[in-house]
Each structure stands twice: as C-alpha cells, then as structure tokens.
Amino acid sequence: MTGTTLEAAAVPDARDAFAGKRILLTGATGFVAKVVLEKLVRTVPDLGRVLLLVRPGEHGDARARFEREIAASSVFDHLRGVRPAWLERFFAERVECVTGEITAPAFGLSAERFAALAESVDIVVNAAASVDFREPLDEALAINTLSLGHVTAFARVADAPLVHVSTCYVNGYNRGEMREEIVGPAGAAKDAIPRHGDGWYDVDALIESLQRKIARVRARGDDPERVRRRLTDLGIAQAQRYGWNDTYTFTKWLGEQVALRAMHGRTLTIVRPAIIESTLRDPAPGWIEGVKVADAVILAYARGKTSFFPAGREGIIDIVPVDLVANAIVLAGAEALSGGPGRRIYQCCSGSTNPLALGELIRLLLAESKRNWRKYDRLFHAEPKHDFRTVGEGTFRFVMGAFGLGAAAWNGLRRLVGAPGTTRAMEKLRTTRTLAVTFAFYAHPRYRFHNANLLALAARCGEETRRVYPVDARLIDWEEYMCRIHMAGLNRYALRRRDAVPDDASGQAGSAHGQADACAGAEALAPQASR
C-alpha cells in the first residue's frame, strides 16, 4: 500500500465512478471477465463504453467471436429476460470489439490504431490469463507474464489506471498468514531473485533464462507433441525450483512483478482471487461456466472414477464465489478512477473471515450427493454407493503402488487372453493419480489468505455500494452454497445432458481466465486453475 491518506480516502458510489467512463477489458471470453461485464452492464446504466480486446479465433473477427461466445452466454439470461431490447442496444451501441492479440507488442495493432485506442480509454481491467496448471512454459509465460509488458505499455500511453486480476496462489510455497502485499519466493529460492528497493522483484534475468531454456527445447527438432510435453515438464520443474507448485502460479507471480515495475508511480491495483467457483447471487445463484478446480474431484467421484484422494482434512480450502470476485474488481476500479496514483493489492478470499475446512467440504458434498443425487441428472449417471476418503500422502503413495501393481497384473492377464480395452480399475487408477498430481498441493493448504484491505475498501464505499457489490465472504452459508446453489449450478450450466455426450467424453476442456475447466476423464484430464 502506498500511504495512509490514499488508503483512508472515501470511495464514491461505483455507479457514479464508472458513469460515462470507457473501459478496456481483456479476457472477456473467460469466466471472471464475463461476470464483470454483466455486472457493469446491469448496474451502471450510464456506463460510457466497453472496449473488448479479443482474439479473432477461427471463425471471424473479434465482433463475430463476441456475438458467439460472450453476447450469447447464459450469464446474460437475466438481462435478456427483463430488458431484451435494451441489452441488444447496449451491445450494438456501447460495446466495441477490438481484434487484437494481448501477447503481441501493441496488441498486434498498427501504431495509429494503438494510439487511437489508448486515447479512447479511461481505465484498463486485465482479466486475460492462461489458467492451465500444466501448460507448456512458453505459452504460459507469453500470456501470464510477457503480456503484462504490453498491457502496462497501453495503460501508460492511455494514462489510465490498471486493475490486474491475479491469484492468491502467487504465494507459492510460502506458509502461514498471507496478507495483501507483494510476496517473494520461498524456501531455497528465497534469495535467488533480487528485490528492488521499491518492493517488486527484478525478474528480467529470470525471464531471459527461461526463454533460453525454451529455445533449447525447441532447437532439438522433435515432433510438436513431444516438444509440448517437454515444455510442460520444463515449466513445472522451473516453477518448483523457484518456489511455486505449478507453471500457472509461477508465471502469474512473474506477471505481477512486471506490472509492479512498469506501473511504478502510476495507478495499479492487483486483485487476487482464491479458488473461484459459481455465483452466490448474481446474475443467478449457481451460474458457472465449465468445470472448475474443486469440481474436477466432484465429477470424478460422481462418475465412479475415483474414491480416495490425498488431502489434509483440517486445512482451509479457500473458495470464493465468482460474483464476489467481480464485485471486488468493480470496487477496485471505482477506487482507481477516483483516487490518486499508487499500488494496491486486494485478496478476494474466504479463509480468514469464513473458513471452510476441506474435511467439512467433503462431508457436505458427500451427504448431498447420496441424499439428492437424482436432482443432479447430468452430474450423476447412477446412485453413488461408494464413499470418498481422504488419506495422508504416505498412505496414498502406498495404496497407489499396491493398487497399481494389481491393476497392471490384471490388465496383463486380460491382454494374454485377448480381452479388449482397459479395465475400470486401471481407469480409476489413472484418474486418481492425475487428480493427485495436479491438485494435491491445493488439498494440503499450508497458509491462510487475508483480505482486511478489501474489506476496508468496501467499508469506504458506502452502504448502498456494499449492497450492490458485496465482497464479504461472511455472506456465504457453506452448506446452502455448496450443497444446493453450487451443485445445482454445476449440473445446470457446466455439464451437458447425458444423451448429448458419451460417458467416456464427459471431461470438459477449459477456457482462459477466468475460466478454468478440468476434465474428469481418465487420461484426458485437463486440470486448470481458479479462473
């Protein structure tokens, strides 16, 4: 934080702060940004203009992709139901789609177009990210780190505040009470990256080193799929070397440092959500897009693909509904528009104010699944008769080893007699192992996130703003939210009908930031992060 006067300043009503303003929003095809866009459209009638930076995709320019992936989204069903003509006019008159590439200098635009775009923007909200935990390092670095150089360059030319959406898990392997401040590497790498006197870490040399390693992998000239696997392994190895569990959180931390340096002396707000799940209230309870982090395990259990998992039942699993995250971004934007220059960091989380233990979450979900599984016809294809157990890491490794030997032997016997396919036991083994490799770090929480700064921001906003844009996780009744709102939303919005997709294709591929999906198939599991 930059100073007591700036911190204590009152914040105007968010609707007044955004009235007439022109917003550049990135990542609008993703989960979080869609909710931010819907919230602004619905609650700020005098919003000036929304400019969406969108990749063209395979089937047309940015406008075509907007119509197909954003305007048609079910997140706008409420507005379509109550104000259809108004919504159509808003999209036509006040949403401008810019065909561009966030990973390219100047977004791939001509100098004239870039300058004109900057001239027309009052605030930048960057919600673009790659949220795959195990993405190839070159791709994750481009979108989560290097793109911040392009975004901040635009914000500087526009002389506009930047609200950047990061993640609480930039805290990496650190332990304890994680507060809203710049965080550094942990463990053996604690002193490996120099820290600047103004707080951020100087990551230029590290980024150059990573790029040289990427170039060496590419220079081997192997087939593209092998190169991709090697770059994925490289990302995980480098992340863990410097104090992060996976490539996603490592490259997001690097991106924070790039933004902090580039926006020094200007207005920068970093919003860090924890594990983002379905909406609590708005625009409809339980709205979700895709299968998120916690849901990968739920879906695997529902389809009978796993029955145990390595986890610490007493640890706090920090889940936050996506509408609370969107509200935090809106409040941060209102403050940035009305306050002076400076950097601010807000964590949108539940662990410090309304903690949910992992064991309690599992208990709630199991009870609801066994009691009301018929209500969730897309999630459950049959009554769940098995339990879901959590075990320690040592026990998990022993059980997986013994189970793996037995499953492999049985598969070998089947092949000898000409039996086709892989056994269900082997499928369960692969799914459980993949889930564990990807999510075990998050299932053994070693720290608790705090959001005192975010709650103080809300307190400075006034009662009406807090009512329209709530951010306080104490509003969540965990049994009501997880057992009814979230599971119903997962069943309704994230999963297709059983007759629309074969059971072995039930895993769903992910989307970008915001929109972290996770497959529940045995080998095609594509786990992704909180956004």
Closest CA to 27 of 6, 9, 63, 54: 54
Map residue 460 onto helix, strand or coil: coil
- Distance between CA atoms of residues 447 and 32, nearest Å: 24
On the question of pLDDT at 488 being above 60, the answer is: yes
Confidence of residue 388 (pLDDT cuts 50, 70, 90): confident
CA gap 271, 347 in Å, rounded: 6
Helices (H), 460-525: 463-468, 478-480, 487-489
Lowest-confidence pick of 23-37, 371-385, 420-434: 420-434
Per-residue confidence (pLDDT) for residue 520, from 0 to 100: 35
For residues 318 and 449, is the Cβ–Cβ distance under 8 A? Answer: yes
Say what the pLDDT of residue 441 is. Answer: 75
Q: Is the pLDDT of residue 387 over 60?
A: yes
For the ranges 17-26, 415-424, 473-482, the lowest mean pLDDT is seen at: 415-424
* pLDDT, average across residues 410-424: 52
Among 11-25, 315-329, 398-412, 450-464, the minimum mean pLDDT is found in 398-412
**pTM score > 0.85 for this model?**
yes
11 vs 228, which has greater pLDDT?
Answer: 228
pLDDT mean over 176-203: 90
What pLDDT is attached to residue 251?
A: 97
pLDDT band at 399 (very low <50, low <70, confident <90, very high): low
Using 50, 70 and 90 to split pLDDT, how confident is the model at 400?
low
Cβ neighbours of 5 (radius 10 Å): 10
Q: Which residues contact 382 (CB under 8 A, 6 or more apart)?
A: 304
Higher pLDDT, 424 or 342: 342
Would you say 455 and 324 are in contact if contact means Cβ atoms under 8 Å apart?
Answer: no
Query: Which residues, in sequence order, are CB contacts of 12 under 8 Å at separation 6+?
Result: 334, 338
The predicted pLDDT at position 359 comes to: 86
Q: Residue 25: enclosing H or E segment and its boundaries?
A: strand 22-26
- Checking if the pLDDT of 324 tops 90, the result is yes
The two three-digit tokens of residue 356, written as one number? 């949910």
Residue 174, classed as helix, strand or coil, is: coil
Question: Phi, psi at residue 180, to the nearest 5°?
Answer: -85, 80
Q: Say which amino acid occupies 167.
A: T
DSSP 193-233: S-B-TTS-B--HHHHHHHHHHHHHHHHT---HHHHHHHHHH
pLDDT at 462: 87
Q: What totals of helices (H) and strands (E) does the chain contain, helices first?
A: 21, 13
d(CA 250, CA 269): 19
Among 337, 355, 342, 321, residue whose Cα is nearest residue 453:
342
Percent of the chain topping pLDDT 70: 82
Q: How many angstroms separate the CA atoms of 106 and 114, rounded? A: 6
Q: Which of 334-343, 377-386, 459-468 has the lowest mean pLDDT?
A: 377-386
The predicted model gives 493-504 an average pLDDT of 59
- How much is the average pLDDT of 348-361? 93
Query: How far, in Å, CA of 119 to CA of 104, rounded?
Result: 19
Question: Quick one: CA dihedral 454, 457, 463, 464, positive or negative?
Answer: negative
**pLDDT one-digit tens code per residue, 420-474:** 555 565 666 676 666 666 666 777 778 899 999 999 999 999 889 999 999 999 9
Average pLDDT, the chain: 84
The correct answer on CATH 3.90.1150.10 for the domain covering 4-281+317-355+446-478 is: no
DSSP type of residue 9? -
CA distance 73 to 123: 24
Whether residue 142 contacts residue 103, with contact meaning beta carbons closer than 8 Å, is answered with yes
The whole-angstrom separation of Cα 105 and Cα 132 is 23
pLDDT at position 118:
95
Which residue has better confidence, 191 or 274?
Answer: 274
pLDDT at 108 over 50: yes
Q: What pLDDT does 89 receive?
A: 94
Q: Is the pLDDT of residue 184 over 90?
A: yes
Out of 317-326, 445-454, 494-503, least confident range: 494-503
End-to-end CA distance of the chain: 25
Which whole number is the average pLDDT over 87-114?
95
The alpha carbon of 215 is separated from its chain's Cα centroid by a whole number of angstroms, namely 28
Stretch 386-415: mean pLDDT, rounded? 59
What pLDDT is stored for residue 358 in this prediction?
Answer: 85
Token digits for 97?
Answer: 């789609």
What confidence tens digit (pLDDT) does each residue in 160-175 have?
Answer: 999 999 999 999 999 9
Instruction: State how far the alpha carbon of 523 is from the alpha carbons of 234, 300, 520, 526, in Å.
Output: 20, 12, 9, 9
Percent of the chain with pLDDT over 90: 62
Which range scores top for mean pLDDT: 105-114, 394-403, 409-418? 105-114
pLDDT at 408 over 60: no
Q: What average pLDDT does the segment 121-146 reach? A: 94
**Cβ neighbours, 10 Å, residue 391:** 16
Contact assessment for residue 102 and residue 143, using Cβ atoms and an 8 Å cutoff: yes
Reduced 3-state DSSP string for 257-322: HHHHHHCCCCEEEEEEECEEECCCCCCCCCCCCCCCHHHHHHHHHHCCCCCEEECCCCCECCEEEH
CB-CB contact of 250 with 171 (8 Å)? no
* Top-confidence range, 56-60, 295-299, 387-391: 295-299
Core vs surface per residue 156-173: b (16+ CB within 10 A) or e: eebebbbbbbbbbbbbbb
Q: Mean pLDDT throughout 148-169?
A: 97
Distance CA 437, CA 525 (A): 11
